[in-house]
Amino acid sequence: MKNTALHPNDGKLALAHIAVGYIALFLGAIAGLLQAFVRSGTLELPAGIGYYQLLTAHGVLLALVFTTFFIIGFLYASMSRTTGDLTPFAKKAGWIGFWLMTIGTAITTVMILLNKATVLYTFYAPLKASPWFYIGLTLVVVGSWVSGAGMFSQYAVWKKKNEGKPSPLLSFMAVATMILWIIATLGVAVTVLFQFIPWSFGLVDKINVLLSRTLFWYFGHPLVYFWLLPAYMCWYVIIPKIIGGKIFSDSLARLAFVLFVLFSIPVGFHHQILESGITPFWKFLQIVLTFMVIVPSLMTAFALFATFEISGREKGASGLFGWVKKLPWTDVRFFAPFMGMLVFIPGGAGGIINASNQMNQVVHNTLWVTGHFHLTVATTVALTFFGISYWLVPHLTGRTLTPRLNKLGIIQTVFWCIGMFLMSGAMHTVGLFGAPRRTAYTTYGDHPQALEWMSYQTIMAVGGAILFVAILMILYIIINLAVAAPKGTEEFPVGEVHEDAEKTPLLLENWKIWIGLSVVLIVIAYTVPVIDIIENAPSSPGFKFW
């Protein structure tokens, strides 16, 4: 494993991805700020801009574009750091993937700005966008596949040179994340290529709505783990080094990632619990599998506590919680991801509530769900990605994280947590009072129930405004780290496994078994209901309500 900076060409590839990711973050955040004010009734949009148009831009740019670009940049950097300089093939694939994704993003964004694709990030049929919106999204997915091929080849070259050895943990995790992503995106590729594109071009009149939604959620749930796993890479491998400790167990970390490959895909029906046309048995089966996919997160929580506690005790901590004091609270590289972990405790608990059949009847399609994903993806994942950026960006640009920027990062994290506490807390609460999600400002003719929601929606707007300030702060820090911070060497921290950990069984790296089992589970969970949907679900013409 290299200890020096990445090869400059590898660094450029990672940096290009991260730069596009942060531009998307900025644009998506502007949409977010405006929509929070519209929804609270404090702002009317000028120039014919629609609330749902903003909501689409916000969801696509943040949930799909920021995440995917940042993740692929980070995974490429991790591969180069732990398996050596990228091979010419891996680099070429990385750049082709990058340009396909960038062109796709540009097409999609233009369509949203032209108000030709106001279909939200889930693009549910029968809402019908311009075909170019779907073509843009296809390019993003195809681009990510090409990048994935580059990473797989890099990994294969390393394995060939190091036969019989387990691959570096960070690269193993990058490969597992891309395997999960590719299996998952097959679902969205099928619905976009065979349903949405022909339908939006007018080649067919109608679309099987239930089939399109089922294929979307086949992709939509593993999508959330595609966001989460790079954060877990940081928690398992990077954080131990930053806190001056060791990785608790290499095998446990690998097993957790394998379990995500197995269980994160055949569970999409938990987003469709209230959807008619799927029989209860198949929903029940997928809910059982959903509870299986909670296990690797519980394992992760266990491993993190163990890492923190062992490291604290090795530094002389005593008592039940003495180790907490030994954590480096003033180091933003630790503090930001740690706050992400902390928030994932209520965030994950909310997910378990969502997945419980009876509870889902209460929360489905309410602002509770919006609150859930602002804790999970928009705090746990986003804060961890910021935490990674604080050292990765200067590592790639040959600069250093100064004490001033570190302090600003801590303040940024605190702002983020306060903003999100207000916004997501209000969303969860008002969701329990029945306030629907995906809805513009309305008092429903001054209905008393709807009037009760208004004060919460104002709190959401206050939280949103604080979050926007935090976005400006992170952008200021990132730009500084990229172009203005003092020249120097910033470490790419990679932890070592604790000497007391068990030896890693090579079985964990037998992808044939894990991919094979994953396919078997998918076939069991989806074949019968999908045949039923193809045969019996009615088709619908398209609608454009905006």
- Binding residues (CB under 6 A) for ligand HAS: these are 122, 224, 227-228, 270-271, 290, 293-294, 297-298, 300-301, 304-305, 324, 341-342, 344-345, 348, 351-352, 354-355, 360, 364, 369, 372-373, 376-377, 381
- Smallest gap from residue 364 Cβ to ligand HAS (A): 4
Nearest to 387 by CA among 416, 409, 415, 414: 409
Tell me how far, at minimum, the Cβ of 121 lies from ligand HAS, in Å. 7
Check 334, 373, 386, 468 and give the catalytic one: 373
Q: Are 207 and 175 in contact (CB under 8 A)?
A: no
The C-alpha atoms of residue 521 and residue 49 are separated, in whole angstroms, by 44
Nearer of residues 324 and 524 to ligand HAS, judged by Cβ: 324
- Establish whether 404 is a catalytic residue: no
395 is catalytic: no
What CA–CA distances, in Å, run from 173 to 87, 228, 502? 19, 12, 18
d(CA 252, CA 247): 10
DSSP percent split of the chain into helix, strand, coil, nearest 5: 75, 0, 25
CA distance 296 to 310: 21
What is the Cα–Cα distance from 388 to 396, expressed in whole angstroms?
A: 12
Given 7, 421, 437, 441, the catalytic residue: 437
- CB of residue 287 vs ligand HAS: minimum separation in angstroms? 7
The dihedral region occupied by 6, where left means phi > 0, alpha psi between -120 and 50, and beta the remainder, is beta
Longest Cα separation, the chain? 71
Q: Which among 58, 374, 399, 498 is annotated as catalytic? A: 374
Residue 89 structure tokens: 């093939």
Let me know the angle formed at the C-alpha of 103 by 99 and 106, rounded to the nearest 5 degrees: 140
Q: Measured from the CB of residue 423, what is the shortest distance to ligand HAS in angstroms?
A: 15
Shorter beta-carbon distance to ligand HAS: residue 58 or 271: 271
The DSSP line for 69-81 is HHHHHHHHHHHHH
Residue 104's identity, in one-letter code, is G
**Which of 287, 228, 239 is closest to 261 using CA atoms?**
228
Instruction: Tell me, yes or no, if 372 is annotated catalytic.
Output: yes
Q: Catalytic: 333?
A: no
CB of 329 to ligand HAS, least distance (A): 11
Of 179 and 228, which CB lies nearer to ligand HAS in the complex structure? 228
Pick from 225, 245, 237, 222: which is nearest to 172 by CA? 237
Contact 192, 129 (CB under 8 A): no
Q: Residue 57's CB: how many other CB atoms inside 10 A?
A: 26
Across-strand partners of 436? 366
- Closest CB to ligand HAS among residues 91, 372: 372
Q: Which residues pair with 497 in a beta bridge?
A: 247
Which residues, 6 or more positions from 287, have their beta carbon under 8 angstroms from its beta carbon? 267, 269, 270, 273, 355, 356, 357
Minimum CB distance to ligand HAS smaller for 60 or for 93 = 60
- Number of residue whose CB is nearest ligand HAS: 348
R_g of the chain, CA atoms, integer Å? 23
| Smallest distance, ligand HAS to C-beta of residue 202, A | 28
For residue 324, give the DSSP letter: G
221 is catalytic: yes
Name the residue nearer to ligand HAS (CB basis): 357 or 536.
357
Nearest-angstrom CA–CA distance, 89 and 98:
14
User: Which of 208/379 has CB closer to ligand HAS?
Assistant: 379
Amino acid at residue number 232: Y
CB closer to ligand HAS, 108 vs 366: 366
Residue written as token pair 């969502």: 354
Tokens for 450, please give them.
Answer: 């709807």
Q: Which is nearer to ligand HAS, 348 or 387 (CB)?
A: 348
Cα dihedral 233, 235, 241, 247 sign = negative
Q: Rank residues 294 and 465 by Cβ distance to ligand HAS and give the closer one.
A: 294
Q: Which of 372, 395, 428, 498 is the catalytic position? A: 372
373 classed as catalytic? yes
Tell the smallest beta-carbon distance from residue 460 to ligand HAS (Å): 17
Catalytic option among 37, 52, 225, 456: 225
Supply 418's token pair. Answer: 């306060």
CB of 259 to ligand HAS, least distance (A): 11
To the nearest whole angstrom, how small is the minimum distance from the Cβ of residue 498 to ligand HAS? Answer: 16
In angstroms, what is the minimal distance from the CB of 394 to ligand HAS? 26
7 in active site: no
Residues carrying an active site annotation: 221, 225, 372-374, 437-438
